[in-house]
Amino acid sequence: MADSEKMVPTKVLPTADVYPKRIMEYIEGFLISKTLFTSCELGVFDVLLGSERSLSAEEISQAVGASLDGTERLLAACTGMQILNRHQVDGKVSYSNTEQARLFLTRSSPLSLYQSIHYHSKTIYLCWHYLTDAVREGRNQYEKAFGVSSGDLFEAIYRSDVEMVKFMQLMHSIWNICGKDVVTAFDLSPFKVICDLGGCSGALAKHCTSAYPECTVTIFDLPKVVHMSKKHFIKEDDQRISFHEGDFFKDSLPEAELYILARILHDWTDERCVELLQRIYKACKPGGAVLVVEALLNKDGSGPLTTQLYSLNMLVQTEGRERTDVQYAALLTAAGFTNIRHCLTGKIYDAVLGHKKA
């Protein structure tokens, strides 16, 4: 009998009904996240992208500067997770990127989620260490996780220049995969003068100018963020995009026909949201509108799971929460907006549009 035949199991146990498959998956969920984070951080997918052929574990371990044994186990797990392909020719094993890995996990891809993965690994994962405290206390955990005061939310998030750029890269990267969907969820072509409040890196501003050839967009954000955006994200050559430095809770807002609030309201309490929306209503041209871009919870809060988890993340990281379309409509109504509609995009972020009477 050949050796390989001896290894064939003679008896396969039927899966017992009592095996708690889902709970086992949940217990181990973070092992999957960490395997992905580490593979990205070591540059496994970038090394494979740079090679014309599939590579052995030894070649990959040398290229990323890691132990052979550790790399072999990491690559095996990546094949189990179906983000790497495993090839075997004449007993020699090699690995290559799957299409998904090439598109989303390599640093240089236009659809890269590398920066999002990096922030999840280096910041969100550490904050979530204190999830139990966050739930008990009902507040964010910057003091415990990073030793910074959480008195001013964005001073905590932007606790150093490096952290500011990392947060901006996180914000930027998701719009690679769903920016177009949120700016085209409604026909925004009637609005020529657009102001993106808390516009950050300018990723959504770019999607607006691409989708609507007649509009101009002002990116409104804190002075330091505007500085970083000019330095790292927006090249000066775009005639239709401009910047405005300010504090949207304190300073006067530029007049516009449409205000975009993407992932702003979920950072703040209902009271602060209404305060901000009232300021927008006052500055808005009659006949203008506000576009709220957020991940919407189902009306009864029953899902989607990702949004429910994001709401926990807002507890750990901000002063806000994720909300339902009805809850956003209530905030918009309290500030004076009417004719409020929402659109689910089928991806993570959705859109809510409210109008100011002409």
Q: Is 266 a catalytic residue?
A: yes
CB of 201 to ligand ASE, least distance (A): 13
Q: Which stretch binds ligand ASE (CB under 6 A): 2-10, 37-45, 58-66, 309-317?
A: 309-317
> Mask of contacts with ligand ASE, 254-283, x by CB under 6 A?
---------x--xx----------------
b/e burial code for range 137-158 (CB count within 10 A of at least 16 → b): eeebbbeebbebebeebbebbb
CB of 317 to ligand ASE, least distance (A): 4
Instruction: Tell me whether residue 59 or residue 275 sits nearer to ligand ASE (CB atom).
Output: 275
CB of 221 to ligand SAM, least distance (A): 5
Closest residue to ligand SAM in the complex (CB): 198
The token pair at 27 is 């217990």
Q: Tell me which residues in 250-269 interact with ligand SAM (CB under 6 A).
A: 262-264, 267
CB of 22 to ligand ASE, least distance (A): 21
**284-294 and 256-262 strand pairing:** parallel
The Cα–Cα gap between 184 and 192 comes to 15
Q: Tell me which residues in 140-159 interact with ligand SAM (CB under 6 A).
A: 154
Question: Which among ligand ASE, ligand SAM, none contacts residue 262 (Cβ within 5 to 8 A by kind)?
Answer: ligand SAM
- Per CB under 6 A, does 318 bind ligand ASE? yes
> Mask of contacts with ligand ASE, 94-133, x by CB under 6 A?
------------------------------x---------
**SS3 assignment, position 219:** strand
Q: Out of 71, 140, 218, 317, which residue is the one contacting ligand ASE (CB under 6 A)? A: 317
What lies within 8 Å, CB to CB, of 54 at 6+ separation is 48, 85, 87, 94, 95, 96
What residue ranges in the chain does DSSP mark as E strands?
Answer: 84-89, 92-97, 193-197, 216-221, 241-245, 256-262, 284-294, 338-343, 350-355
**338-343 and 256-262 strand pairing:** unpaired
What residue ranges in 47-175 does DSSP mark as E strands?
Answer: 84-89, 92-97
What lies within 8 Å, CB to CB, of 314 at 6+ separation is 266, 267, 320, 321, 322
> Mask of contacts with ligand SAM, 157-196, x by CB under 6 A?
--------------x-------------------------
Diameter of the chain measured on Cα atoms: 86
Catalytic residue among 118, 120, 207, 266: 266
Of residues 91, 155, 118, 201, the one with CA closest to residue 318: 155
Active-site residue set = 266
| Contact residues for ligand SAM, defined by CB under 6 A | 154, 171, 198-200, 221-222, 225, 247-249, 262-264, 267
